[in-house]
Amino acid sequence: MKVISDILRRMAACALCAALALSLVSCGKNGGKEEEKLPEWTYIPEFVEPENAENISWYETLLAGDDLYYYTSDWEDEKATTTIHRWSATDGSVSEVKLALEEGENLNQWCVAEDGGVCAVVARWNHDEATQTSRSDYALVEYDAGGNQVFRQDITSLFTEEYAYINGMAVDGEGRIYLCTDDQVLLFDAEGNHAGEVKLAGMQSYPAGFGAGKDGKVYLIVTSYGDEGRDTSLSQVDFETKSLAGEHKGYPSGNSEGTIAQDETGGFLAFDFVSVYRYDPETEQKEKLFDWLDCDINGTNVRQVGALSDGRIAAIYEDWNSGDSGLVLLTRKKTSEVVRKQQIVLGAIYSNADLQDAAVKFNKSNDTYHVQIRYYMSDDAWSETSYEDAISRLNNDITSGNCPDIIVLDGLNVELLASKGVFEDLSPMLEGSEALDRSNMIEGVLDAYTMDGILTAIPNTVELQTVIGAKSKVGDTPGWTLEEMMALADANPDADLLYNSSRQSMLTACLQYNIDSFIDWDSGSCSFDGEEFQRLLEFVARFPDAEEITWDADAPSEPELIQDGKVLLTEAYIYELDAMQLYLAMFGEDITAVGYPNPDGNNGCVLSANGCYAITSKSKVKDGAWAFIESTLSGEGGNYDFGFPNNRSRLEQMVEDELNVEYVKDANGELVLDENGDPIPEGGSHGIGYGNWEYYYRVPTREEVDMILDLLEGAKPVSGGDTKILSIINEEAEAFFQGQKSVEDVADIIQSRINVYVNENR
């Protein structure tokens, strides 16, 4: 079922995309790439398949010492026999321990001890018919290496919830047991007796990793959020003092999946979606060992790493989409002894699973080139300025000799980059391609990314963002100007233009298609001191400050306010073909996707791209860069199944699948109807809720689908204005909003500051 959080996520993404941009000096076409600095060591992957690998649930596997552990369960008369399998990464041998669970029990959490025994939390779901209540009972059980039960302790009373979520379990060198939950670590002695707990400090802290190290101690990784951003630290769980001891800051945060991996030297292996690091707790410094892509691994699929005694690194990976899962062993080798392909550097703001998947598939299939990804926003050191800092780093690389060969344009200011000569024209490459056919692409999307006659990029899929209103209010033709939008507001003084509109959100909405009407980048002239911009500020001043808007669960929902005539417009986020029926239901009458206001009165529909690649003019491996783009657009690499495909055949198939739905039938071949008397699609139905207002989707009509297809042909990637320009406008406009300065004075100040900025950066 669709939930409102999904739409809010897309709204946030679109808003961020619209707000961010780059200010660049001209790149030119003669810059060279800095000489690549090769690492001393390269890690060579060996993908191995343990015995009975087809029966392994990789989500339930553990790496401990030099071994991989996994379990299987056999059921007979509601009694489970669980077998723990041990596969040795040293010699490939396999052994097993059979655990006899009691009737109705299952493993909630488990770990292995140094002596080969198994410690486990087993759960049994109980339902009380008299009270009609249910909950789980829990027992802490230890088995020896032969599978014999050593002890069993009931620990149900330690959990207040119906179901206990245990993040991790560990046994230290003295046989004592530790259970990690969301806010504490429960301690048990070697006989399973509860011995206390270690509480996590603060509401903004949570466990990000947990387990026993090779030194026999148990460690906890804690991620905390504060005014300075995010910080992750490593501490020992001290059983005696029942506290966290020896906090070590700066631990690499990432996809730790609740595990600890300590090597023979006392350092810790840590990893994120991009790289693997060695963290030294004494110096609190990390050293990058390698990137996952260098080993043909999609780092977003890696869920656990381990350090083997012979120096190799083991990793468990699991791809939920493709089902490609398994174990890989990585051996260190001198880089000077490894044959390297020509490197293609792909620059992206943030890590992306589909992007890495595309790179892995390309690297495995191409004998000449290898794609490496340079991410500009680190998942490790997040702060409020992370995105802006990433933009600056990308800017610096583009203007230097470190320019990437390919840039992922998702969320970037394409027009401004294109105006600086950053991109190579893809038209000749597309025309000469044997793998791609321009006539099979959506021409409107290609036109949107053609600037000054240059095809800057080709998206894989796209999404749409527009403004929708009742046809009776906005007319039946998409597109309008700022003056027309403000006239609508003037004609309806008792209604809000948009739901929960603030000054800040309205200013962004009004400027994202209009900012260039106030700036001439070629001449460096600006017109923010004119009557049009002053009128805009006066209009925006009607709305409350963002901090004044509070969420009230009992307040009428957006659809209810629209239907009562108290809200005139809604911002629509369209990424599926059944989207329009929701907005028709919201308004209860015919609608028009009028779009965001813009100087030319065009449809004002914002195009957001997924998998949108451009080749930089500076690249010295343009043939290889184009080969990668070809592979992604032809469907050979990457998923990018979100949104509308920039491939006419795939889009037409998508439309056909959406309109021609099979319905559920009973044993007699008759249609099964829902409570409203409508047939039920075989794939089930889905809905969305806005407070008390709910809507359940039906099969869309051809007219509703055509409304979306028409928007696709005219939508444009919006620049949204430079971050610095928007910052100047918001900063100086506040004095007018607060009644401290006149609109003329504020407009003059904005004009002066932006004029200086434009002439320094054009």
Q: What is the reported pLDDT for 391?
A: 84
Report the C-alpha gap between 238 and 243 in whole angstroms: 5
- How does DSSP classify residue 673? B
Task: Specify the pLDDT at position 405.
Answer: 97
**Exposed (0-12), middle (13-18) or buried (19+): which is 368, by Cβ within 10 Å?**
exposed
Q: How far is CA 642 from CA 151, 673, 711, in A?
A: 51, 30, 17
C-beta separation of 373 from 297 below 8 A: no
d(CA 286, CA 283) in angstroms, rounded, equals 9
Rounded Cα distance between 536 and 636, Å, is 48
Q: Residue 25 is which amino acid? A: V
pTM: predicted TM-score of the whole model, two decimal places: 0.81
Q: Which helix (H) or strand (E) holds 160?
A: none
**What span, in angstroms and rounded, lies between the C-alpha atoms of 721 and 510?**
11
Q: 331: closest CA among 41, 68, 49, 69?
A: 41
| Residue extents of the structural domains in the chain | 4-22+465-607+669-722, 41-127+136-337, 342-460+611-646
Rg of the chain on CA atoms, in Å: 29
Residue 641: per-residue pLDDT: 65
450: which strand partners? 455
Residue 101: its pLDDT value, please? 82
Q: What is the DSSP letter of 649?
A: H
State the CB neighbour count (10 A cutoff) for residue 432.
9
Nearest of 480, 470, 466 to residue 564 by alpha carbon = 470
Low-confidence ranges of the chain (pLDDT < 50): 1-32, 720
C-alpha 640/C-alpha 10 separation (Å) is 15
Strand order in the sheet with 94-100: 62-64, 67-76, 79-88, 94-100
**3 state DSSP class of 202:** coil
Taking the C-alpha atoms of residue 64 and residue 305, their distance in angstroms, rounded to an integer, is 10
Fold for 41-127+136-337, please state it.
Neuraminidase (2.120.10)
Which tokens belong to 629? Answer: 């783009």
Residue 324 DSSP symbol: -
Residue 296: left (phi > 0), alpha (psi -120 to 50), or beta?
A: left
- Please indicate whether the domains covering 41-127+136-337 and 342-460+611-646 agree at the CATH topology level: no
Q: How far apart are CA 271 and CA 103, in angstroms?
A: 39
**H-helix segments, 399-498:** 414-419, 427-431, 443-448, 471-474, 482-491
Token pair recorded at residue 252: 């690499």
Which helix (H) or strand (E) segment holds residue 547: the answer is: none
Separation of alpha carbons 92 and 71, rounded Å:
17
What is the C-alpha separation between 18 and 606, in angstroms, rounded? 9
Which of 180, 209, 216 is closest to 269 using CA atoms?
Answer: 209
pLDDT at position 244: 93
Give me the CATH topology for the region 342-460+611-646.
D-Maltodextrin-Binding Protein; domain 2 (3.40.190)
271 three-state secondary structure: strand
- The span from the CA of 606 to the CA of 14, in Å, is 9
Sign, CA torsion 13/613/298/632:
positive
Residue labelled with tokens 């206390």: 196
Are 572 and 604 a contacting pair, CB within 8 Å? no
What pLDDT, in 10s, does the model give residues 385-403?
777 788 889 989 998 889 9
Torsion angle defined by CA atoms of residues 504, 509, 511 and 512, in that order, rounded to the nearest 10 degrees: 120
Query: Which amino acid appears at position 633 of this protein?
Result: L
